[in-house]
Amino acid sequence: MITTSSRLGLVLVLLGVLAAAAAPVLAPHATDDRFPGLLNAPPTLPHVIDSSGRWRAPFIYPWRLADRLLQRYERDGTTRVPLVWLAGRAVTSSDDAGAPLLLLGADSYGRDVFSRLLFGARVSLGLAIVAALGSMVVGGLVGAVAGYAGGTADDLLMRATDVVMVLPAMYVALALRSVLPLVLAPFKVFVFLAAIFAVVGAPFISRGVRGIVRTERRLDYAVAARSLGAGHARLLGCHLLPATRGFLAVEMTMLVPAFIIAEATLSYVGLGFPEPISSWGTMLHEASNIRTFADFPWLLSPAGAIFLFVLGLNLLLQETPAIEAALNYNGGDEPVRRVRSDSDPLR
Closest CA to 169 of 130, 208, 206, 196: 196
DSSP-derived letter for residue 112 is B
Long-range pairs, 148-151, Cβ under 8 A, ≥24: 148/213, 148/217, 148/232, 148/236, 148/240, 150/214
Q: Which residues of 16-55 are buried (b: 16+ CB within 10 A; e: fewer)?
A: beebbeebeebbbbbbeebbeebbbbbbbeeeeeeeeeee
Residues in the chain, pLDDT under 50: 322, 324-343
Q: What is the pLDDT of residue 324?
A: 47
Q: What is the pLDDT of residue 241?
A: 82
Q: What is the pLDDT of residue 320?
A: 52
Between CA 319 and CA 301 the distance in angstroms is 27
Closest CA to 217 of 156, 299, 147: 147
Between CA 64 and CA 73 the distance in angstroms is 6
Between CA 189 and CA 192 the distance in angstroms is 5
Between CA 290 and CA 237 the distance in angstroms is 54
3-state SS class at 82: strand
Query: How far from chain centre, in Å, is Cα 39?
Result: 28
Closest CA to 205 of 293, 115, 142: 142
